[in-house]
Chains A and B, each alone.
Chain A
Amino acid sequence: ETGVTQTPRHLVMGMTNKKSLKCEQHLGHNAMYWYKQSAKKPLELMFVYNFKEQTENNSVPSRFSPECPNSSHLFLHLHTLQPEDSALYLCASSQDAVRWGPQTIFGSGTQLSVL
């Protein structure tokens, strides 16, 4: 483990379901990220939180809703997803999102399948 833990590792859901992905880090980092990794667009940045404030939303559809209750936890709430949303969702953290040259640590990801 590198210090960034994601649960669940695998998730299968129907298009009408509501589920949440969880990410946790105890590295003392202040920035946390959600990435989507698929065959079509590898490592696509979705959301950035810096000191619990959302600083970036890369035109992500509203069916994805992030939540960052504190600097150690990050959630991605999912509802009414589409089959094309099936992908590996990676969480990452770094010291902060604005300092020059941050080292980003990735979690193992949640493999999501939408049926």
Chain B
Amino acid sequence: GENVEQHPSTLSVQEGDSAVIKCTYSDSASNYFPWYKQELGKRPQLIIDIRSNVGEKKDQRIAVTLNKTAKHFSLHITETQPEDSAVYFCAASPPGQNFVFGPGTRLSVLP
């Protein structure tokens, strides 16, 4: 089955700097890759997703890149702000199957 790894497990950046979180997946058939943000005490919320027919997707300060050959995808956050502090989860979904989540990355944006 699918296996998703995520690095780093914790990340601290200065406000205004960029943050990058990387995930790798094992099942080359996976074709949908969402990213969820979970603030302390709150539910995971979808922030961006990408499908396998696209290499990059942007939404304001957030972007996701996908390398199907290497089977990895990354979340990029530019101009980080304190409210970006949260746990971020990546996931991979083979066709017709449910998400497999990565273990999460705790991002801290320092003022």
Interface residues of A (CB under 8 A from B): 2, 4, 33, 42-43, 45, 48, 56, 90, 97-98, 100-109
Pair A100/B49 contact, Cβ less than 8 Å: no
Q: For A2, A56, A106, A108, which residue has the most chain B Cβ atoms within 10 angstroms?
A: A106
Binding site for A on B (CB under 8 A): 31-32, 34, 36, 42-46, 49, 51, 87, 89, 91, 93, 95-96, 98-101, 103-104
Interface of B (DSSP majority class) = strand
A97's partner among B45, B46, B98, B101 (CB-CB below 8 A) is: B98
A to B contact number (C-beta, < 8 Å): 49
- When distances are taken between beta carbons in the complex, the residues of chain B under 8 Å from A109 are 43
Q: Kindly identify which residue among B51, B95, B99, B103 contacts A104, using a CB–CB cutoff of 8 Å.
A: B99
A104 to B91, CA, bound (A): 11
Closest chain A residue to B94, Cβ basis: A100
Task: Give CA–CA (A48, B41) in the complex, Å.
Answer: 24
Closest to A33 in B: B98
Interface residues of A, dominant DSSP: loop
Q: B residues within 8 A CB of A102? A: 32, 93
A104 to chain B, nearest CB (A): 7
CB nearest to A109 among chain B residues: B43
What CA separation (Å) do A49 and B40 show in the bound complex?
28
Q: Complex Cα distance A90/B98, Å?
A: 15
Q: Is the CB of A100 within 8 A of B95?
A: yes
Shortest distance between the CB of A3 and any CB in chain B (Å): 11
Q: Is the CB of A45 within 8 A of B46?
A: no
A-B contacts, 30 of them at CB < 8 A, read A2-B43, A2-B45, A4-B43, A33-B98, A42-B87, A42-B89, A42-B104, A43-B89, A43-B91, A43-B104, A45-B100, A48-B98, A56-B98, A97-B98, A100-B31, A100-B32, A100-B95, A101-B49, A101-B51, A103-B34, A103-B49, A104-B99, A105-B46, A106-B36, A106-B44, A106-B45, A107-B43, A108-B42, A108-B43, A109-B43
